[in-house]
Amino acid sequence: MNHKEAIQHKVFKIIGSTADELSLECYVIGGFVRDYFLGRSQVKDIDIVAIGSGIELARAVAKKLSGKPEVKVFKNFGTAMVKSEGLELEFVGARKESYRRDSRKPIVEDGSLKDDQERRDFTINALALSLNKETFGDLLDPFQGISDLNKGIIRTPLEPGITYSDDPLRMMRAIRFATQLNFTIELKSLRAITENKDRIQIISKERIVDELHKILMSEKPSKGFELMHKTDLLRYILPELKALQGIEEVEGQKHKDNFWHTLEVVDNIAATTNNLWLRWAALLHDIGKAPTKRFDKKIGWTFHAHEFVGSKMVYKLFKRLKMPLNEKMKFVQKMVLMSSRPIILSEAHVTDSAVRRLVFDAGEFVEDLMTLCEADITTKNPKKQRKYKNNFKLVRQKIIEVEERDRIRNFQPPVTGEEIMKTFDLKPSKEIGIIKEAIKEAILEGVIPNEHRAAHEFMLEKGKELGLKK
Ligand code: CTP
């Protein structure tokens, strides 16, 4: 079959004719070809494989491209990269060995196209289109990748045990592709992943996290976490989540399975936001429940302070996975810490002061927090479902009203410490803190509005109470 239409970009003609001049066979392969057949938006990373030296081909191609871009050579990997017109072209020589990016051994470029294809991860990633003039656009698919694409199957070209031990990251890639594309991992492959799961430990955390991000950014992330659970990769990657799985029963009382609940929450939030870190927050919002679980004879199952414990666990988890310990992590911590606040609100009568406190504590992230809490509604009882949703609507409405009136979100004390010091002729002292705190409390409680005059009056009264003189 010929598929010229996939490679209309002029760069492909240039690569093909250069390869002809060097008497090399060359192909475009991997994600670009897969995504063309899937009708997905075209990737900017383009993998070119030459039967011979990929580096030599890259150098010759770069000379013909406009602007004569630089060629970045990675000798150890036997690859060369050229950037041109927003595309990243990666050249490699066909090889008999596997595609290990972290391999220390020098790569030997000694394979045929088929050797190269069978050393790739999945049949759907081993599709190649010829770029040489004579055969321009011809598809080479010796492992039935097209058929797997049509059937929606993730399958390895070789025995799965070989493919996965060549590069254990592929276990995560299999799960990631299955999640992104809503494909099924072939049973043999799934078994091999289960058998080889402990080998994931040799893979760098950064690469694992890349895959986790991609799973989380999929339309239905639960599929990926379900597969990680089924193959037990979860044990090594997110043991905190694994610990949430299971239902215990004491004296006839059960708690819900917090693992499956969490996955529902993640799918819910994926339907409403593309904020990766908010999706992380959804994934981790209940992790404090495993270590805090207790059975109390009077009240049944409790998870006392799980939000606080969970937010502390976020730090350890991010650190272990070498994720950024910056404001992103702090955001996730804050979401986890506050994850029950709006729920408590929505169960009771919603007062203005409770809403003001919520806005005060959540600050600029109050909408994100509401989004998380709405996603957290997984009750199957339609009556309760409706009640919670309506209450959340009310909370959102009140947030807007209260904010218009009181501007709590980026709260700045209407009376400064300096003003207090001047008024009462004070040196820095604890009284200043007491008065400031009292003013803030009065505003949040709705005793006074958030404005200078009222706050100044309140300060005078409070000063009197403390026995201060003007
Ligand atoms: N590959 C592989 N084994 C890996 C990584 C990559 O065999 N562990 C091969 C696959 O043929 C893959 C190609 O190298 O298609 C390019 O890899 P990469 O750019 O990481 O992924 P893509 O398939 O392009 O997909 P995506 O951009 O979605 O990550």
- Report DSSP letters for 221-278, one per residue: THHHHHHHHHTTTHHHH-HHHHTT----EETTEE---HHHHHHHHHHHHHTT---HHH
Report the separation in Å between the CA atom of 167 and the middle of ligand 1, taken as the mean of its atom positions.
12
- Is the beta carbon of 240 within 6 A of some atom in ligand 1? no
- Is the beta carbon of 157 within 6 A of some atom in ligand 1? no
Report the separation in Å between the CA atom of 424 and the middle of ligand 1, taken as the mean of its atom positions.
69
pLDDT over 90 percentage in the chain: 80
- How confident is residue 343, by pLDDT bands cut at 50, 70 and 90? confident
- Is the beta carbon of 166 within 6 A of some atom in ligand 1? no
Mean per-residue pLDDT, 86-109: 75
Q: What is the pLDDT of residue 469?
A: 83
Cα–Cα separations (whole angstroms), residue 297 to 250, 294, 302, 303, 358? 9, 10, 10, 14, 32
Q: What is the pLDDT of residue 105?
A: 60
Are 63 and 75 within 8 A, CB to CB? no
How far is it, in rounded angstroms, from Cα 461 to Cα 233? Answer: 62
Which residues does 397 contact at the CB level (< 8 Å), separation at least 6?
none
Q: Which tokens go with 313?
A: 């666990």
Are 28 and 47 within 8 A, CB to CB? yes
Q: What is the pLDDT of residue 417?
A: 92
Q: What is the pTM of this model?
A: 0.93
148 CB-contact burial (10 Å; exposed 0-12 / middle 13-18 / buried 19+):
buried
For residue 102, pLDDT beyond 80: no
Dump pLDDT digits (tens) for 363-380: 999 999 999 999 999 999
In a 3-state reduction of DSSP, which class is residue 394?
Answer: helix
Q: What is the pLDDT of residue 391?
A: 87
Q: What is the pLDDT of residue 108?
A: 65
Report the range of poorest mean pLDDT among 50-59, 274-283, 399-408. 399-408
Dump pLDDT digits (tens) for 185-197: 999 999 999 999 9
Mean per-residue pLDDT, 167-176: 97
Q: What are 71's strand-pairing partners?
A: 82
Are 185 and 176 within 8 A, CB to CB? no
Angular region, 416: left φ>0, alpha ψ -120 to 50, beta rest: beta
Dump pLDDT digits (tens) for 430-447: 999 999 999 999 999 989
- Is the beta carbon of 177 within 6 A of some atom in ligand 1? no
Which residues does 396 contact at the CB level (< 8 Å), separation at least 6?
370
- How confident is residue 410, by pLDDT bands cut at 50, 70 and 90? confident
Q: Strand runs (DSSP E) across 16-149, as ranges? A: 26-29, 45-50, 71-74, 79-84, 87-93, 128-130, 139-140
Would you tell me the crossing angle of helices 258-270 and 276-284 to the nearest 10 degrees?
160
For residue 109, pLDDT beyond 80: no
Nearest protein CA to atom 13 of ligand 1, as residue: 30
- How confident is residue 103, by pLDDT bands cut at 50, 70 and 90? low
Q: Which atom of ligand 1 is nearest to the CA of 173?
A: 8
Where do the domains of the chain lie?
A: 4-145, 152-237, 273-406, 417-465
Q: Which of 192, 147, 198 is nearest to 174 (CA)?
A: 192
Q: What is the pLDDT of residue 99?
A: 57
Q: Which tokens go with 170?
A: 């592929």
Report the separation in Å between the CA atom of 30 and the middle of ligand 1, taken as the mean of its atom positions.
6
Mean per-residue pLDDT, 402-418: 88
Q: How many residues does the chain have?
A: 470
Q: What is the pLDDT of residue 281?
A: 98
Secondary structure string (H, E, C) spanning 306-323: HHHHHHHHHHHHHHHCCC
How far is it, in rounded angstroms, from Cα 374 to Cα 16? Answer: 53
Cα 187 to chain centroid, rounded: 27
How far is it, in rounded angstroms, from Cα 247 to Cα 42? Answer: 44
Q: What is the pLDDT of residue 41?
A: 79
Q: Which atom of ligand 1 is nearest to the CA of 32?
A: 24
Mean per-residue pLDDT, 249-274: 96
Residue range 4-145 forms a domain whose CATH class is: alpha beta
- Is the beta carbon of 36 within 6 A of some atom in ligand 1? no
Report the separation in Å between the CA atom of 242 and the middle of ligand 1, taken as the mean of its atom positions.
28
- Is the beta carbon of 31 within 6 A of some atom in ligand 1? yes
233 CB-contact burial (10 Å; exposed 0-12 / middle 13-18 / buried 19+):
buried
- Is the beta carbon of 117 within 6 A of some atom in ligand 1? no
CA angle 239, 242, 245 (to 5 degrees): 160
Instruction: Compute the mean pLDDT over every residue in the chain, rounded to the nearest whole number.
Output: 93
The topology (CATH level 3) of 152-237 is Hydrophobic Seed Protein (1.10.110)
Q: What is the pLDDT of residue 221?
A: 98
- How confident is residue 328, by pLDDT bands cut at 50, 70 and 90? very high
How far is it, in rounded angstroms, from Cα 218 to Cα 179? Answer: 7
Report the separation in Å between the CA atom of 99 and the middle of ligand 1, taken as the mean of its atom positions.
9
- Is the beta carbon of 170 within 6 A of some atom in ligand 1? yes
Nearest protein CA to atom 23 of ligand 1, as residue: 31
Are 268 and 375 within 8 A, CB to CB? yes
Q: What is the pLDDT of residue 344?
A: 76
For residue 405, pLDDT beyond 70: yes
Torsion angle of C-alpha atoms 198, 204, 205, 211, degrees rounded to 10: -80
Dump pLDDT digits (tens) for 28-49: 999 999 999 999 877 789 999 9
Dump pLDDT digits (tens) for 280-315: 999 999 999 999 999 999 999 999 999 999 999 999
- Is the beta carbon of 118 within 6 A of some atom in ligand 1? no
For residue 463, pLDDT beyond 70: yes
Q: Which atom of ligand 1 is nearest to the CA of 43?
A: 27
- Is the beta carbon of 331 within 6 A of some atom in ligand 1? no
How far is it, in rounded angstroms, from Cα 213 to Cα 209? Answer: 6
Cα 241 to chain centroid, rounded: 15
Are 383 and 391 within 8 A, CB to CB? no
- Is the beta carbon of 329 within 6 A of some atom in ligand 1? no
- Is the beta carbon of 78 within 6 A of some atom in ligand 1? no
- Is the beta carbon of 122 within 6 A of some atom in ligand 1? no
